[in-house]
Amino acid sequence: MELIEKLPEINERINVKAKDQVYKFAASLELGSKETYDILTKYDVYPILPSHFRAYTVDPRSAQQTLELASKMEFIANIKQNPNLVSCSISEVIKRMGQCDAVGIPYRDEATGLCADYIFSAREFKKQVGPMLENKEALAPVDNTVSFTDYAVTDNDEKKKAIKDYANKLLEIFTLTSTEDKEAIMMAIDKMDVSELSEKEVLMSTFAETFKVGNMELLSSEIDNVLDANTLGRKAA
Amino acid sequence: MKFLEKYDFTQEDIEELIDSTPKKIMNGLKKSQDLVEANLGYLKDLGIKTYVDIFLNFPDMFFMDHSNFKEMLDKYEKDSLVEKLNANFRLIEFL
């Protein structure tokens, strides 16, 4: 009920043509929270249409996390245009971006910076990008000559084992949980000469290359978190 | 949300709804199943083929009192309404 009181304020930004449609979506204002309203306002996210009121029903913690990541990953403009996207699964969005990047399917309009709608919907992604992905994957060269279990044991095995443990944690963070994702990153680590590189350098390079990560800042900060957590674990032990 | 299968929602449609709809709205849809079904059924029975898209994009609209929901649609000539909503389901927001 707390948001009903905010209606005059909220209504100011509603498209003139839709102002008399507010009653259709009043349930979302009734279910919405003031805390989520404040978080969205902090990021300059406002409903433009009454159907956007639904954004206020998102759990505040989840809204905060989504908006933070959307800023880092540079797709907050999409959320400003359609605040309901604040309820999307960010990990799935990142995964879809990665899938597009991997096979070179564009999803961002360079002029506006907006991402295509299918990035935010599993159903639309499957419908619009699915066939393209199948074609591109079928055309991609497959290297059948080696598998990541075939590599010879080296002096750097211990270091690689530690890096693989960190990689597993990062895969979970980015919800890259399929066997293919795991095999791809393990193979990339196995192929790499890690003797002259730091753990972070190996992780940055293999993740960026394997999953075509565009936002290096986010990747770097997540790697730092994983490495820091491990250091803390060691200290605590 | 099994009841949606009665209205020919596919598993993929239901997953999309779960993924893109805030929990509070989902809980409300479950609690108000009778009302939601009455509104959804009315839309489908009118011959509006895009009712699945309408539901996925505007789930909170289905909390509307059924008489208001009907009134919103009944004020238009049926064939013209069906034709327009089948061509562009997003128009429902502006009816």
Q: If phi over 0 gives left and psi between -120 and 50 gives alpha, with beta otherwise, what is residue B20?
A: alpha
Question: How many independent structural domains does chain B possess?
Answer: 1
Domain that holds residue B79: 2-94
pLDDT at position A137, please?
Answer: 62
pLDDT at position A1, please?
Answer: 61
- CA separation, residue A111 to residues A108, A115, A170 (Å): 9, 11, 32
**B55 vs A80: CA distance, rounded Å:** 22
Collect the ranges in chain A with pLDDT lower than 70.
1, 136-156, 214, 231-237
Mean predicted confidence (pLDDT) in B26-47? 97
**B93 vs A197: CA distance, rounded Å:** 56
CB distance A133 to A104 below 8 Å: no
Q: What does the pLDDT look like over A219-237, one tens digit per residue?
A: 888 888 888 877 665 544 4
CB distance A90 to A69 below 8 Å: yes
CA A182 to chain B, closest CA, distance in angstroms equals: 24
Question: Is A57 in the B-facing interface, judged by CB distances under 8 Å?
Answer: yes
* Residue A186 dihedral angles phi and psi, to the nearest 5°: -65, -40
Q: What does the pLDDT look like over B5-31, one tens digit per residue?
A: 999 999 999 999 999 999 999 999 999
Q: Which of residues 173-202 of A touch B (CB under 8 A)?
A: none
E strand intervals along chain A: none
pLDDT at position A103, please?
Answer: 84
A123 and B13 within 8 Å at the Cβ level: the answer is: yes
pLDDT at position A141, please?
Answer: 47
Helix, strand or coil, per DSSP, at residue A140 = coil
User: With contacts defined as CB-CB under 8 Å, which chain A residues touch B21?
Assistant: 54, 87
